[in-house]
Amino acid sequence: MREVIRNIFEEMGFLIDEELLNIDDAFYTERTSDNKFDFFVVLFQKAEELNVEVNNITYFLNLIIENKQNYMGLDKNLTLLMLLECDSIEQQENVNSMIFDIEEDPYDFKKYVLPYTTGEVSELKKNVINSGLSTVRYIEQKVFDVQLFSDFKRRVNSLSVKEYELITKFFIKLPFLNLDIRTQDFLDLSKLIQDEIQAEDKDVWNQLLNLYQQTDESTDLSAEEILNFMEADKLE
């Protein structure tokens, strides 16, 4: 996962510092060009060792501020991204309540926890290589795959669906990733979906289309608006 997440950050214009935090299982990354000011601590943990100590957060914050004093308000724009390795989908489900507690904790900076399995990551890495695309371009294309979305909604148990679910998590947990949807593309996609997916899924897409039509044409729908909707509907 470290290679995948590094690729995503670098392809989105971030600079990565592997040395600043002085620990092996984390790195610091920032993007300060083109009027963008994004700062992340990226932390890697295993689910069975899930723990976010207040002292560690304070240490990260103080160390970054000490070394990056030229950025005013950095403490208010710093995000902790935790990549949480799970042994299975079942383990992911078991730690969901802990993930919620971590993300909702208001202490210091924003926090996002992204659980994954090594199988999901291996499938993603293999498919990115085979596609010949960059990681970001690949996941941007894959997230709109009609058949995968239908299989995802029907909870089909396959590696491709597990990979698709991981991709949706990237768009939910990484706020700098955007889904650039244009009206015609969305309408064409909607028609394909109506032709291909199960009847019970069509209502979902009708609601998504209504969501887009209520959005100003000059504004792209955010990944959070779309994918949180997908996640919420899946849990019902």
| In-domain check, residue 48 | yes
**Element spanning 164, H or E:** helix 159-173
If asked whether residues 103 and 192 sit together in one domain, one would say no
If asked whether residues 115 and 6 sit together in one domain, one would say yes
Which of 91, 119, 147 finishes a domain? Answer: 119
Reported pTM: 0.74
**Digitized pLDDT (tens) for each residue of the chain, 236 residues in all:** 999 999 999 999 999 999 998 889 999 999 988 777 889 999 998 888 776 555 567 777 788 878 877 777 676 788 889 999 998 878 877 788 778 877 887 666 788 999 999 999 999 999 999 999 999 999 999 988 888 888 888 888 899 999 999 999 999 899 889 776 544 455 455 555 555 555 555 566 566 666 666 665 555 556 666 666 555 555 45
Which of 119, 150, 167 finishes a domain? Answer: 119
Q: List the CATH number of the domain containing 91.
A: 3.40.1350
| In-domain check, residue 140 | no
If asked whether residues 114 and 6 sit together in one domain, one would say yes
Tell me, what's the pLDDT at 179? 72
**How many structural domains does the chain have?**
2
| In-domain check, residue 88 | yes
Among the listed residues 162, 159, 173, the one whose alpha carbon sits nearest the alpha carbon of residue 223: 173
If asked whether residues 115 and 194 sit together in one domain, one would say no
| In-domain check, residue 200 | yes
If asked whether residues 14 and 87 sit together in one domain, one would say yes
Cα(134)–Cα(128) distance, integer angstroms: 7
**What backbone phi and psi angles, to 5 degrees, belong to 45?**
-140, 160
Residue 112 is part of which domain span?
Answer: 2-119
| In-domain check, residue 166 | no
Q: What is the dihedral of CA 177, 182, 188, 189, to 10 degrees?
A: 20
Which of 119, 138, 162 finishes a domain? Answer: 119
If asked whether residues 31 and 106 sit together in one domain, one would say yes
Q: How far apart are the first and last CA of the chain?
A: 29
Whether the Cβ atoms of residue 16 and residue 10 lie closer than 8 Å to each other: yes
Tell me, what's the pLDDT at 18? 93
Tokens linked to 186: 């969305």
Point out which residues pair with 38 in neighbouring strands.
31
